[in-house]
Structure 1
Amino acid sequence: MAQGARRTVGQVVAVLALAVAVTAFLSVAAVRHGFFDLKVYYGALTFWTHDGGEIYDFLKAGTQYGFTYPPFAALVMLPMAYLPWPAAITVSVVITVLASTVVIWWLVDPIARRAGWTRWFALAVALCLAAAFEPMRETVNFGQVNMLLLFLVAVDLLRLLPVGSRWAGVGVGLATAIKLTPGIFIVYLLVTRRWRAAATAVGAAAAATLLAGALFPDASREFWTSALWNTDRVGELAFVSNQSLRGTVARLHPEHPSTVAWLIVVLLVLVLWGWRARAAVAAGDEATGLALTGAVMCLVSPVTWVHHLVWLLPALTLLVDNAMAAPARSARRRLLLAAALLGYALLCSRIVWAWEKDFTGVGGFLGSNTYVWISLALLLGLPIRRWATPTGGGRTGGDAPVGSAVEPGGVAQFPEPDRVAPGGQRHRVGRLHPVG
């Protein structure tokens, strides 16, 4: 058997073994939520379209949970009301899997190219690991829309902005119209002075919102004047699944959480994020800009359930990218790989649920907010990858494709002949050399 064939057989066996291991892990660790959130969407849409009720008046039987997204989300989900329940589940799972596959491919493929890994093998391994990731499995089991939103944002930041497309911003705008929290990416575009993309994002969000308002005036009026401000519909802030700064503060004093303390911490975190985001874009590192903004969104949102933490996937992937760009057997590579492994392992472990009933005391405070600490660590410590073209090409800046990691004292890329990157743009693929 030829060496290449033996390598392929070995990789297929490795992927199958990993898939079996992940399946076994999920059989023990994964919680079956019965597509709870999807049932809320489905019930609200059915109540609205078939029973003559208002979508924001619907509450799932025996709960305080109702439809909490803007009217444009209802428009996007409307076809679901005309499907049988098993078909709605199938559509939800298929969309999540497809969106996840594309986003993970965009993040992992550049690493595989530079590291010399077989690209399909790298993607298969990454997908298996993603399946074990608690936020990802919670997204699937709840029937959530998180990966669709991440896909829309990634289209802009990883595929359109680096090549200067006039459509850059549409994905961010649509994601914001579906769910308000991705609006932080409009702020990201403003902070990093991409005025045209920010204007396009605002225009897309406004157009989608006005379209929904024209089609569903009563629902739009109720959402913007009432449902949006009804925090009881989203659940208890101190609940351990709320891994945001607001949840952290609320767990200190569940009966009377301090809004002032929360706002002060949020302000400090936003200042840190703005500084790091601008540095990332100035270095031409759009992927890190996306990752930092995803992390800060999880932190500053009043409610960040565990399934929302799929927005940390880019940051964890980029830790591996930075590690593989560091010199082999260097302390930097070991540190970054260890950080990525620790963050990933903790985010697979359901560790915060150990304090679901009692999060008092120092141990309870530290343990019940484990995922918040990971988000903060990624925001603070994720390296910014700098583009080096020392042969006179100058910094590639915002036109650089997703590429190699380098920090001062780390490694830099030196140009070699042009190759075609994903998406069709041509760029220099370099060898890694130590700097300083």
Structure 2
Amino acid sequence: MRPRTDRGRVLLVLALVAVVTVFTATVPLLRDFFDLRVYYGTVHMWVHHGGRIYDYHVPGTSYGFTYPPFAALTMLPLALLDRTSAIVVSLLVNLAALAAVLRILAGPGWRRHGWFRWALCLCLLALFEPLRDTFSFGQVNLVLLALVLGDCWLLATGRGRWAGAGIGLAAAVKLTPALFIGLLLIAGRRRAAGFATAVAAAATALAAWADPRASHFYWTEALWETGRVGRLDYVSNQSLQGVLARLGETGRPLWATAVLLTLCVWAWRARGAVKAGDWTAAFALTGAAACLVSPITWVHHLVWLLPSFAVLLRAGHPRIAGALYAVLCTSVVWLWFDDASGIGGFLGSNTYTWITLGLLIGLPTGQSRLVRLPLARSLSTTAAAPSPESPAATAGSDQSVPSADFDAAATTGAAGDVCRGRGLARSPSSEPTGSTRPAAPKPQSSSPRASSYTVDPAS
């Protein structure tokens, strides 16, 4: 039921763009680039006012810079910009990172999907709450995902000589991506794991040389103060720690047990994916596990689940992918913003955690390297001559593929074309506000107090 003419396709895309624009402008509260304001204020105070990295706080809140010092070092270009230019640069960098992620997940045959499918895909992505929050907060997780998936591409295409550099840089900016070094060890890629560790250590040492006091403070004090990041029981925290905190269980032994069990499941499943040569699934499982075991996983951190949806599409489960994706577009967890008590609160306020846990346990691995794409019509065992609209069927296949299989998201369905372990495959944080509620006097709100700066950098 898709338009048959270019004019119809253009009209449909324009209509979807209008709907997406209205939705993103009216339904969720805009995040007012809160995290970018943290980065900007920190760098300007550090460079222009002689302040220390971890002394800056967004006015009206107790929240400041929470990343390792190397992250501040990478953000030094912000010292040359005014606030408006910083916002523009943030949007452009995140768009470039998103393009890189989609390019890697789509595989070498990404052009075959055409402009129409890519336009539909982008409209769907604009509704994805973690992604739209990443842009609206001015967050860096999408850039880190692109760096990590770059290593996935290197390993899958036999270019493993430089594999590990992206993971090492990502781990030096934020600690969570360090779990991917564990994946490299599980996969027996000791050279890549060592390279990633060396890159992370070198970046950390560079930051220590640039600002020894900041590095000492971070590694000895700030790292262990979770209160600097936000409340553990806040509804946006969709990690295992967040689930336990909302139940009133703040003891570390229970959380440590849950983390240990999760890591055991991850190691077992990731090792199986690597043995099957399925690097996409291995990286997707690691991203899901990292979100679960991190003490704080804000909703916008869940961009690490994007590879999981590519795996589901590739494995022929578009309906499951579509259903889970739709839930992650709804901002449903914010319905329990004030009260997460009772059975309903336990189930509803942790919805995104359940999805992440389900992906870790049930994500298919080791799928066929030859990706089936939605076809314009069914193919029988007696295949007709191939055409641009109906590619030739795989030899020996007697199954048809309906064109309704989540056609809009098919752009990521070819993820297995690249991220496979057997060479090239063939072609076929700060605490956010509630997104559905009026602005509240919470950290990362869009209140006038939180919109100002404690410093007024010279233009």
Quick check: TM above 0.5?
yes
Alignment equivalent of 2:343, drawn from 358, 362, 365: 362
* Cα pair 2:151 2:166 within 8 Å, conserved: yes
Q: Distance in 1 between matches of 2:394 and 2:4?
A: 32
Q: Does 1:264 align with 2:231?
A: no
* 2:132 maps to amino acid: R
Q: CA, structure 1 residues 85+109, in 2 after alignment: closer, same or farther (shift >3 Å)?
A: same
Q: Please say which of residues 191-200 and 167-176 is displaced more in the overlay.
A: 191-200
For 2:14 and 2:218, locate their aligned partners in 1 and report how far apart those are by CA, in whole Å. 47
Q: Which of 151, 175, 184 matches 2:179?
A: 184
- How far does the alpha carbon of each residue in 1:284-320 deviate from its partner, in whole angstroms, 9 at most, with x for none? 1111111111111110000000000011111122212
How far apart, CA to CA, are the structure 1 residues paired with 2:160 and 2:282? Answer: 18
CA distance in 1, matches of 2:234, 2:108: 38
Matches within 5 A, 1:31-50: 31-50=29-48
**Deviations 1:46-98, CA, capped at 9 Å, x for gaps:** 11111111111222222121111111111100110221000111111110111
Which 5+ residue runs of structure 2 have no aligned equivalent?
373-392, 398-416, 429-459
Structure 1, gaps ≥5 residues long: 324-335, 389-402, 406-411, 431-436
Deviations 1:159-194 (A, max 9, x none): 444323311000000000011110010011111111
Question: In the comparison of the two structures, how many residue pairs are matched?
Answer: 384
Tell me the SS of whatever aligns to 1:102.
helix
Instruction: Give the Å deviation of 1:242.
Output: 0.1
Q: Which residue of 2 aligns with 1:352?
A: 333
- Matches of 1:244 and 1:413, distance apart in 2: 41
Task: Note if contact 1:191-1:274 (Cα within 8 Å) is conserved in structure 2.
Answer: yes
CA-to-aligned-CA distance 1:261-282 (integer Å, 9 cap, x gap): 1111111111111111111111
1:86 aligns with 2:79: no
| Equivalent AA in structure 2 for residue 34 of structure 1 | D
Correspondence list, 1:239-388, <5 A:
239-253=234-248, 257-323=250-316, 336-387=317-368
Three-state SS of the structure 1 residue aligned to 2:169 is helix
Does the CA-based 8 Å contact 2:157-2:418 persist in structure 1?
A: no
Which residue in 1 is equivalent to 2:229? 234
Would the alpha carbon gap of residues 33 and 184 (structure 1) be closer, same or farther in structure 2, given more than 3 Å must change?
same
Deviations 1:223-262 (A, max 9, x none): 1112112211101000000000000010000xx5122111
SS in 2 for 1:163: coil
Match of 1:77 in 2: 75
Opposite residue 373 of structure 1, the aligned amino acid is W
The residue type equivalent to 2:371 in the other structure is S
| CA distance 1:355–1:185, shift in 2 (3 Å) | same
- Percent identical among aligned pairs is 50
Letter in 1 for 2:36: L
* Contact 2:288–2:305, Cα closer than 8 Å, also in 1: yes
- Contact 1:153 1:172 (C-alpha < 8 Å) held by counterparts: yes
- Per-residue CA distance 1:88-133 (angstroms, 9 max, x = gap): 11111110111012212321356868xxx63333322222111110
Aligned CA-pair RMSD:
2.3
Does the C-alpha gap of structure 1 residues 39 and 404 become closer, same or farther in structure 2, counting only changes over 3 Å? same
Report if aligned partners of 2:156, 2:418 keep a CA contact under 8 Å in 1: no
Name the residue aligned to 2:94: 96
Of structures 1 and 2, the one scoring higher in RCO (CA 8 A, sep 6+) is 2
Q: Does the 8 Å CA contact 1:135/1:307 hold for their aligned counterparts?
A: yes
Instruction: Output the TM-score relative to the length of structure 1.
Output: 0.83
More helix by share: 1
Q: What is the distance in 2 between the residues matched to 1:348 and 1:360? A: 23
Aligned with residue 220 of structure 2, among 211, 222, 225:
225
Match of 1:203 among 198, 207, 224: 198
1:374, 1:381 → 2: CA distance? 10
Q: Which segment is superposed worse, 353-362 or 311-320?
A: 311-320
Render the CA deviation track for 1:366-389: whole Å, top value 9, x for unaligned: 00000000001111111113347x
- Provide closer, same or farther for how the CA distance between residues 119 and 200 of structure 1 changes in structure 2, counting only shifts above 3 A: farther
Q: Which amino acid aligns with 1:120?
A: W
How far apart in 2 are the matches of 1:196 and 1:54?
37
Aligned-pair distance for 1:13?
A: 3.1
Q: Please say which of residues 53-62 and 139-148 is displaced more in the overlay.
A: 53-62
The answer (yes or no) to whether the contact 1:70–1:179 under 8 Å persists in 2 is yes
Q: 1:183-208 CA deviation, whole Å, 9 max, x = no partner?
A: 01001111111111101100110111
Q: Find the aligned partners of 2:25 and 2:289 in 1 and give their Cα distance.
A: 32
Residue type at the aligned position of 1:49: V
Distance of 1:280 and 1:81 partners within structure 2? 43
Does the 8 Å CA contact 2:31/2:137 hold for their aligned counterparts? yes
User: Using the alignment, how far apart are the partners of 1:192 and 1:414 within structure 2?
Assistant: 31
Q: What TM-score, normalized by structure 2, do the two folds share?
A: 0.79
Q: Residue 21 of structure 1 aligns with which residue?
A: 19
> What amino acid does structure 2 have at the position aligned with 1:227?
A
Aligned mates of 1:53, 1:428 — CA distance in 2 = 54
Distance 1:276 1:357, change over 3 A: same
Is 1:173 aligned with 2:168? yes
Secondary structure of 2:85's aligned partner: helix
2:150 pairs with 1:152? no
Question: Cα distance 1:415–1:156, how it changes in 2: closer, same or farther (>3 A)?
Answer: farther
| Alignment map for 1:401-420 (pairs within 5 Å) | 404=371
Q: Secondary structure at the match of 2:315?
A: helix
Q: Is the 8 A contact 1:104 1:123 kept in 2?
A: no
Structure 1 residues 55, 148: closer, same or farther in 2, change over 3 A?
same
- For 2:251 and 2:394, the matched residues in 1 are separated by 48
Change (3 A) 1:293 1:268: same
Task: Give the match's secondary structure for 2:160.
Answer: coil
Whole-Å separation in 1 of the counterparts to 2:116 and 2:277: 28
